[in-house]
Amino acid sequence: MTAVRMATSDINGVTPNKDEAETLMINKMAPTLYSMDASSPANAVRMFADIIGLDLELKHIDLTVAEQKLPEFLKINPIGSIPALKDGDFIVSDSHVIMKYLLSKYAADQVESLYPSDVQTRALVDQAMYFNTGVYFIKLKGVTLPSLFGDCTETTEKSKKDINDCYKVLEVFLENRKYIAADHLTLADIALLSTTSSMQPIHKLDSENGHIQNISKCRCVKDLGGDLLCEDLAVKDRWRSYFNELLNKQHKEVQPPDLPPDQGLVPPVTPAEVQTARRRSRNRKVVGADGVPIEPWKAMGPRGVGTLSNLFPRTLYRADPKPMEAEYYYSSLQRQMQTVLITQPACYINKMAPILYSMDASPPANAVRMFADIIGLDLELKQLDITVAEHKSPEYLKINPIGSIPTLKDGDFVLSESHVIMKYLLSKYAPDQVESLYPSDLQTRALVDQAMYFNTGVYFIRLKAVSIPSLFGDFTETPEKSKKDINDCYKVLEVFLENRKYIAADHLTLADIALLATTSSMQPIHQLDSEKFPRTAEWLSRLEQESFFKKIMVPGVELLDKILHSIWERNKQKKL
C-alpha cells in the first residue's frame, strides 16, 4: 500500500497558500475525510487510519456555523453528519462503515485481526459498534448539542445516569476479556475508545470499580527499554510502533502433509445444502433435495434414523468388488442419509430453534422476524411487555444489559440489536443467501451498512422520540418538531433511492428489511407524503405487497397505531 501525504482544506476546497495547493495535487488520490477535530466519530476513523498506516486528506467542517447543513455538504452526505468519506467517486458516511470500508480496501491483510471472520466474534464487534451508534453516542450528543446550541450549563443528573448506564454495558462487554469483543484490539475498541474518551469532560468515568480504567491515568507508557514515556508525541510514536508490530506479525506457515486427495464419486454434504434441507424441513414435507416424505422418518424417530444409517452402508459394502453403479448408488444413498441425520425431522429441529425476545409492535424485532421468514428460519418467540418494563427487569438485563428489544439467544450465544442479529443469522443459517441479502461487493456492502447505521443512529431515534414520550409521558400527538425531523429522514431515503429501486442495490438487501420496518411503523406517527417523497412512497408500496410484510408488519403496525392513538386520547382526557 502506498501511503499518501496528508493535506487539509475547508469544505469549499479553499487552500491558504501555494504550498498547500501543491500538496493537494499530490494528494488527489487520497481518500478525503470530512472531519472536525472535536468529533469523536471522525477521530475514531483517524485513529483507525493511523493504525493501518493510511493517510487521509482532511477537510474540516465547522459545526458552530452549521457547515454540515450547507447545500454543498448535503450533496456529499444527505444525512448532514460527520464524518463522511469521499474515495474517488464513492461517498459513504458513518464512522463505523467508513472504517469497515477502508479496512477491506486498503488493509485487507489486517481484516482478520481488526474485524474477525469468526461468526460469533464478528457479531460481537458489530453489536458493540451498533450500541455505540444507537445508544452511547446518542447520550454524548444529549449533552453536547444542548450545550453548543442551547442553554445547557452543565451535565444534568439525568444525563449522568444515562451515561453511567452505558458504562455498565461496557463493563459487561469487558467481563470475560480485556478488549470489547475479542482477546485483541478490534474496530469495536477503536469506536468505543473514541466515544468514551470524549465522554470524560462531560461525565468522568469512575475507575474505582470495574474493568474500565480512567483514560487520563493511562497517558504514560513504557518504551522497549522500560523507560517511562509521558510526552504526547513520544507516547503516540510508541503506540504506533506497537500496533504496527502487533498487526503485521507473520503467522508460522504449517506445511500440510503430502497426501493424495480422497475424492469420492459424490462430494460430502456442504453447509449450504444442510441449510437448504433445514429450510425445506420446516414445512414438514421433505427432508432435503431427495424428495423423501418426512412422515416415515417422523414415525421412526431419531433412533430409527440412526439404525437405518448403520444398516444401509453395511449391506452395500458386502458387495465386493462393487460395480460402478453400486458404488454410485451407495454414495448417493450415504449423501441422503447424511442430510437426514443432520437435519432430522422438523419436530426435532424445532427444539433447537433460536429464541427471539420480541414485541409485536417493535419495528426492530419485526425486521428480524421478516428476515427470518425470508430465509425460511423458524424462531421461538418470547414476548416482552414494555408497558410493565419487562425489558428492564433483572432477569432480562442478565440476557441483554442494554435492555433493548430484540435479543437473540442461539444456544449459549446471546446477541442484541436487530441489524446485528440479521447479519449473524444470515451467515449461520443461510450462507447461500448472503450474496443476495448482504452483497460482498465492497461499495454495495458499504451502502447496505450505511443505511443500517442510519436506521439505528438517526431514523429509529426519531421514531422513539415520539413513541417513548407517548407511552411514558404526556404526548397527545406528534409534535411539529418531530414531523420536521421525520421528513428530514424521508429526504435521506429519497437520496438512497435516487438511482435504484431498492435502498442499497438493485434488489432486496438487509437495508430494505431494516428500513421497511421503521418506515411502515412511522406511518401512525407521521404519514409519508407521496408527492414530496415519490421514490420512497413507491418503494414502500412495492414492499407492502410482499408476503413477509403482510404476515408480520401489517399486524405489528396496526397494533402500534392502536396503542399510540389510545394513549394520545387518554393523555388528552387527563389534560381536560
Q: What is the pLDDT of residues 497-551, one digit of tens each?
A: 999 999 999 999 999 999 999 999 999 999 999 999 999 999 999 999 999 999 9
Residue 317 grid cell:
459394502
pLDDT tens digits, residue range 395-426?
A: 898 899 999 999 999 999 999 999 999 999 99
22-26, 37-41, 297-301: which is most confident: 37-41
Please state the pTM of the whole predicted model: 0.73
Whether 170 contacts 112, CB under 8 Å: no
Q: How far apart are CA 244 and CA 359, in angstroms?
A: 46
Question: Among residues 72, 41, 64, 114, which one has the least CA distance to residue 458?
Answer: 41
The secondary structure of 460-525 as a DSSP string is HHHHHHHHHHHHHS---S--HHHHHHHHHHHHHHHHHTSSSSSSSSSS--HHHHHHHHHHHHHTTT
The secondary structure of 198-229 as a DSSP string is HHTTTS----SSSSPPPGGGG--EE-TTS-EE
Q: Is 381 helix (H, G, I), strand (E, B) or coil?
A: strand
Question: Among residues 199, 120, 125, which one has the least CA distance to residue 166?
Answer: 199
User: Beta 90-93 vs 84-87: how paired, if at all?
Assistant: antiparallel
What backbone phi and psi angles, to 5 degrees, belong to 350?
-60, -25
Which pLDDT belongs to residue 391?
87
Q: In the structure, what pLDDT confidence band is assigned to residue 250 with cuts at 50, 70 and 90? A: low
Q: Is 1 helix (H, G, I), strand (E, B) or coil?
A: coil
Question: Among residues 547, 550, 495, 499, which one has the least CA distance to residue 520?
Answer: 550
Residue 329 grid cell:
448408488
- Answer yes or no: is pLDDT of 331 > 60: no
- Answer yes or no: is pLDDT of 445 > 80: yes
Whether 33 contacts 42, CB under 8 Å: yes
How far is the CA of 241 from the CAs of 109, 235, 255, 292, in angstroms?
Answer: 17, 10, 30, 61
Average pLDDT for the chain: 81
Q: How far apart are CA 167 and CA 286, in angstroms?
A: 49
Residues carrying an active site annotation? 362
Which pLDDT belongs to residue 52?
95
Which pLDDT belongs to residue 226?
74
